[in-house]
Homo-oligomer: A and B are copies of this chain.
Amino acid sequence: MALISKISQLEDEQLRAIAYMPTDYLSVLVASDAWLQFTDSDFMRIAVLLAEKSFLEGGCPIGAVVIDNVTRQILGKGHNTLVQESHPYNHGETSAMRDAGRVDFSQTTLFTTLSPCDVCASLLYMRGVSRVVVGDVTNANGNEGLLQEKGLTVDILEDEVGIALYARFRKEKPEQELEDWRGVSAVNAAR
């Protein structure tokens, strides 16, 4: 029996368990009809907890979650893996979509803790994602208009914990942040 079936208010401990559990096994934690009780803020908090996980591993604190628009079930989730996989472009969005696999993204909403870069924005419209919820347009922004032009619904749902975490990361590891955004070439050019 799943641990979460009827929800009064979700706590961070429960959301962290969901964030860390491999997507294929989430039914161990959450009953299928319980997903309907999860709010947009809950999914954004899961994305922020994934960002926090990445930060604790020495990586870039950016996370994302993909849910089905109807069932609200999580189909994919992940975080940036520049450090963890020595991966030159795997951002929160690409990580969560990779985890979701070959699904119809036009039936999904993607929650991201940070405004999408050009690569991720292109991926979002090329795969026809229906709605994007952005948790931080303070530390970065710019592609929200493009996504709307391409027909996506874009909602801003800023999460103060995620914004503070990203600001701390940028201050503590400016070169890592620059590499994640513009590549090693930009880091070398700035030296």
Q: For the complex, would chain A's binding face be called helix, strand, loop or mixed by DSSP majority?
A: helix
Task: List residues of A (75-125) whose CB comes within 8 Å of B's CBs.
Answer: 82, 86-90, 94, 97-98, 100-107, 117-119, 121-123, 125
Is the Cβ of B89 less than 8 Å from the Cβ of A97?
yes
A161-191 contact mask (Cβ, 8 Å, vs B): 1 or 0: 0000000000000000001011111101100
A6 close to B (CB within 8 Å): no
Task: Say yes or no: B127 contacts A88, CB within 8 Å.
Answer: yes
A88 with B100: CB separation less than 8 A: yes
The residue on B at minimum CB distance from A182 is B126
Measured CB to CB, the closest approach of chain B to A58, in angstroms, equals 13
Given contacts A118-B122, A128-B183, A182-B128, contact A98 B105 (CB under 8 A): no
Asked whether, in the complex, the Cβ of B94 is within 8 Å of the Cβ of A184, the reply is no
Contact of A184 among B90, B102, B182 (CB under 8 A): B102
List of B residues within 8 angstroms of A128 by Cβ? 182-183, 185-186
| 5 nearest A-B pairs in the assembled complex, by CB-CB distance | A106-B185, A128-B185, A127-B183, A104-B184, A118-B122
- Interface residues of chain A, those whose CB is within 8 Å of chain B, are 82, 86-90, 94, 97-98, 100-107, 117-119, 121-123, 125-128, 179, 181-186, 188-189
A86-B102, A126-B183 given; 17 more Cβ-contact pairs under 8 Å: A87-B101, A88-B97, A88-B101, A88-B127, A89-B94, A102-B179, A102-B184, A104-B183, A104-B184, A104-B185, A106-B183, A106-B185, A119-B122, A122-B122, A127-B183, A128-B183, A128-B185
